[in-house]
Amino acid sequence: MKKEIGDETNIKALGNVLKDMGLYDKALQCYEKLLKQSKPNDLAILSCYYGIGQVMQLKGDYGGSLWYFEKVLDL
């Protein structure tokens, strides 16, 4: 279990760093990978949706970012 938590944290952290570096497509890949690995009702899903929403906003896709931010609120 410790390894699983570490892997999730590392993937999320890498996505955040890539987003901050302006490497938006690579950041999206990290968030999407973590989404695929997450179990239903996992808190990592919230983080992924929020991160994807931020990336979409930074890319100028405000409709897409709003959709992901609303998903965070719905969960």
Give the CATH number of the domain where residue 23 resides. Answer: 1.25.40.10
Question: What is the average pLDDT value for the chain, to the nearest integer?
Answer: 89
pLDDT of residue 73: 93
pLDDT of residue 43: 85
Q: How far apart are CA 4 and CA 20, in angstroms?
A: 24
Domain that holds residue 32: 2-74
pLDDT of 36 strictly over 70: yes
pLDDT tens digits along 7-34: 778 899 999 999 999 999 999 999 999 9
pLDDT of 69 strictly over 90: yes
pLDDT of 4 strictly over 80: no
Count of domains forming the chain: 1
